C-alpha cells in the first residue's frame, strides 16, 4: 500500500512543529504541505489528491468546522485542538479522531493507525500485488525475515526491541513506535508503553495482565480500554 499523503492546517507554529515531528516518525505518513489558513487549503485540495488532513479548529478567516462543511468528498480528518467542546460536532462530520492539545506521540499514533486501518479496508490487491505477511528487521547486521503469524509479543528495551516469536527471539535496534508503525493494526495491539502483543496469541486477560503463549504481560493504565474494544 502506498504512503498516506497528508496536509496540516494549523496557524500556531509550535503546534505545526510538534505535528510535523510526529509525522516524520511514522514511515507510512507523507507530509505534502502545511497551511496557516483553511482558504488556501481549499484551493490546494481542488488540485491535489490527499488522504488525510490534520485540522485545527480556531483558524483565521474560515474556522475548521466550517471548512469541513465545504468539502463534498473529504479525505480522512484528524482534529487537533485545545477545545474539547467541538468533539461531538467533529464526529458528526465523520472525523476519524479528535486530539486534544497537548497530546503525546502514543495518542497521535493511535489516531493515524485508525486512518491506516481504514485504508487497508479499501485496499484490494491485484494479481501483481500482495499484502505482505512479514517484515524484514535488522538483527546483528543482517536483514531477518519475520512472519507476522509467528510474533507473540514485542518488548521495548531502551533503544532496542525484543521480538519474541513462536520459534526464537530477536533483538533489533529500533523503538517500539517505529516497529508498531510497521505492524498491521488488525493483528497487533500496544497494551503498555513497553509491550505490543499479537491479538491471535492472547490466551486470557484481566484488567491488569494479558497471557500470551505462556507469558504474562502487564497492561498499562492508559491502554485498558484497547482490549475491551477488540
CATH number, domain of 191, equals 2.40.50.1020
Instruction: Determine the structural domain holding residue 189 and report its residue range.
Output: 134-228
Same domain, 210 and 165: yes
Which of these ranges, 39-43, 78-82, 92-96, 197-201, has the smallest mean pLDDT?
92-96
Domain boundary residue, one of 122, 153, 171: 122
Which of these ranges, 24-28, 92-96, 156-160, 206-210, has the smallest mean pLDDT?
92-96
Tell me the residue ranges of DSSP E strands in the chain: 4-9, 29-35, 52-55, 76-81, 97-100, 134-139, 142-147, 151-157, 160-165, 169-172, 188-192, 195-198, 202-205, 209-212, 215-218
Single pTM value for the model: 0.56
Q: What is the pLDDT of residues 55-85, one digit of tens each?
A: 999 888 888 888 888 887 889 999 998 887 7
- The reported pLDDT for the residue numbered 89 is 75
On average, the pLDDT of the chain sits at 86
* 64-78, 153-167, 171-185, 215-229 — most confident range: 153-167
Work out the pLDDT band at 190, boundaries 50, 70, 90: confident
- The reported pLDDT for the residue numbered 129 is 41
- The reported pLDDT for the residue numbered 193 is 87
- The reported pLDDT for the residue numbered 124 is 45
82 secondary structure, DSSP code: S
- The reported pLDDT for the residue numbered 10 is 94
- The reported pLDDT for the residue numbered 76 is 92
> How far is C-alpha 225 from the geometric centre of its chain's CA atoms?
17
Domain boundary residue, one of 98, 122, 146: 122
- The reported pLDDT for the residue numbered 177 is 80
**pLDDT at residue 96 tops 60:** yes
Contact 180/109 with Cβ under 8 angstroms?
Answer: yes
The count of other CB atoms within 10 Å of the CB of residue 35 is 21
CATH number, domain of 10, equals 3.40.50.2300
Rounded (5°) CA angle 139-141-142: 65
Is 88 inside any structural domain? yes
Same domain, 155 and 203: yes
Q: Domain count of the chain?
A: 2
Same domain, 66 and 151: no
Same domain, 29 and 71: yes
Query: Once rounded to an integer, what is the mean pLDDT over residues 6-34?
Result: 94
**pLDDT at residue 184 tops 80:** yes
Work out the pLDDT band at 202, boundaries 50, 70, 90: very high
1 secondary structure, DSSP code: -
Same domain, 8 and 116: yes
- The reported pLDDT for the residue numbered 14 is 94
Same domain, 100 and 9: yes
Is 51 inside any structural domain? yes
Same domain, 91 and 23: yes
**pLDDT at residue 175 tops 90:** no
Same domain, 112 and 154: no
- The reported pLDDT for the residue numbered 23 is 94
**pLDDT at residue 54 tops 50:** yes
Is 209 inside any structural domain? yes
Amino acid at each position: 500500500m502506498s504512503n498516506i499523503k497528508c496536509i496540516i492546517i494549523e496557524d500556531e507554529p509550535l503546534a505545526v512543529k510538534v505535528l510535523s515531528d510526529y509525522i516524520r516518525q511514522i514511515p507510512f505518513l507523507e507530509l505534502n504541505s502545511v497551511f496557516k489558513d483553511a482558504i488556501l487549503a481549499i484551493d490546494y485540495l481542488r488540485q491535489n489528491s490527499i488522504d488525510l488532513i490534520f485540522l485545527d479548529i480556531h483558524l483565521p478567516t474560515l474556522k475548521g468546522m466550517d471548512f469541513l462543511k465545504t468539502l463534498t468528498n473529504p479525505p480522512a480528518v484528524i482534529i487537533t485542538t485545545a477545545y474539547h467542546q467541538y468533539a461531538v460536532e467533529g464526529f458528526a462530520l465523520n472525523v476519524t479522531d479528535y486530539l486534544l492539545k497537548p497530546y503525546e506521540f502514543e495518542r497521535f499514533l493511535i489516531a493515524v493507525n485508525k486512518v491506516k486501518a481504514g485504508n487497508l479496508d479499501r485496499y484490494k490487491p491485484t494479481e501483481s500485488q500482495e499484502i505482505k505477511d512479514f517484515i524484514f528487521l535488522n538483527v546483528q547486521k543482517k536483514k531477518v525475515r519475520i512472519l507476522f503469524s509467528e510474533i507473540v509479543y514485542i518488548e521495548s528495551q531502551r533503544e532496542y526491541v525484543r521480538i519474541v516469536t513462536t520459534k526464537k527471539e530477536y533483538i533489533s535496534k529500533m523503538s517500539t513506535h517505529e516497529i508498531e508503525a510497521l505492524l498491521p493494526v488488525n493483528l497487533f495491539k500496544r497494551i503498555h508503553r513497553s509491550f505490543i502483543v499479537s491479538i491471535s496469541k492472547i490466551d486470557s486477560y484481566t484488567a491488569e495482565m494479558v497471557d500470551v503463549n505462556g507469558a504474562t504481560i502487564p497492561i498499562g493504565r492508559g491502554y485498558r480500554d484497547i482490549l475491551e474494544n477488540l
